[in-house]
Structure 1
C-alpha cells in the first residue's frame, strides 16, 4: 500500500465514502480492491398524525399519477375547474429520451456491416423462419436453421459487446 502513498487503511476512510474492506483479489491479470459502504442511519418512522395541517400544506404537494396507453403517465396536482398543473410523458418522448430508437438504429447498422460467409447478420436474422409457432415442425425447422448460423451470430455478439469473463 505504500506505492499509493497510503500506509494504513485508516487513511483511506473518509466519512460518507466507501471504506476499504481489507481485501485485494487477483486472477493473475486483474486486481479487485474490495470496498464497502457505511450503513446509513435509518430515518424515524413518521405517521400523518405527527404533522400539523399547516406543516402538511407547506411541505407536501399531492400529485395523482395515471399510467396510460399512448402516454407513459399523466400526472396532475388538482382537478376540475380550479387551476392545476398537468405533466405527461408520451411514449414517443420516452423512447426518444431513453435512446431506444438511436441504439436500435446503431445495432441495425452494425448488423448490416458485419459480413460472415457473404451474408450480413441482418440477412441471417431476416432469413430465419419465425420462432413464434405452436407447430413442432416449425420450431424444429427454426432450431435447425438457427444452429447453422449460430457461430456467426455468437461471434457478432462477442465482437459487438465484449465483456470480461470472470
Structure 2
C-alpha cells in the first residue's frame, strides 16, 4: 500500500515538474491510462527520456499473397520489386522501368554517422593526452574478479579526465542526439523513395545530372528517374524475404530489417507490402526464364565480376546487374 501511494505521489510530482503537454498528455489521468508512465526518467545531460509501457494487442493481420492484390493491380496501382542486400541496402524496380538504389554508404551519410566520426576524430586530436589515458584502460569484459576490480579502480582514478573528455559542453550527448534525429529523417527519406515525395528523386533533384568540368567532359551521366507528378493512389511493394546476416566481415552493418520495419508502419490504404520468395531470383534470367547465367569475366585479369551476370542462352545473351535482375523477378 505504501509503495502504491509513493508511486502516485511520484507521478504527481513529475507531472507538475515537467510539461507533459508537449508529449500529448494534457491531464494527470492521461499519464496512467493506456500508456502507463513508469516514473522512470533518464538523461545524458542534453536529452531526456521518459519511460512508458502500454498493453499491446495481439496482431490479427494475416500475411497477404500476390493473388490478394489482383483488384489493386487492375486499378492501376504502382508496383515495386525490392531486392534487399548488404552493400546496396535496397535495389528497387517498378513496372514502368524506374529504378531506385540506396547504398550502405548513402545510408550512413543520411544518418550523419560520417560527420559524427569526423567530429569525434577532431575532438580526439585536440585532446590527445586524455584520449591516450582513456584508450589504455583495462577492459571490464573479464570473468576474473581481480582484473575487473583493477579496471574499476583505473576508471575511478581517471574520473576527472573521463568526464572532462566526454562532458565538455555536452558535445558527446549533443552529437548522439543529432545522429538520432538524422537517423529518423534518413530512414523516412529512404521509405519515400518507394512511395512519393523523396528528396533524391523529386523534380529539383540533381542526381545523375552532368556538370561541365574538365574531368567528366567525356562522361555521360543519365538523369535520375524522377517521381511521377501525381501521387499514386496505391503502392504495392514486393519485398524479398531472403534471410542473411545484416553484416559481412569487414563491412558495416546493413539496416535492412530497420527499413522493412519502417515501411510496415506506413502500411494502410495507400501502401501494402507483400513478401516474395527470393529462391533463384539471381540465377534465373528474367527475360528467357532459363537458369543459365554466369558471371562476366574481365579480359585482362580474368576476374569474375560478381555483380554482373550474362545469360548463356543463344537466343538471349542479355547482360544483367544481379540486384536489378532479382528486383525484376519479384514483379
TM-score w.r.t. length of structure 1: 0.50
The one of the two structures with greater contact order (alpha-carbon pairs below 8 A, sep at least 6) is 2
Larger radius of gyration: 1
TM-score w.r.t. length of structure 2: 0.28
* Greater helix fraction, Structure 1 or Structure 2: 1
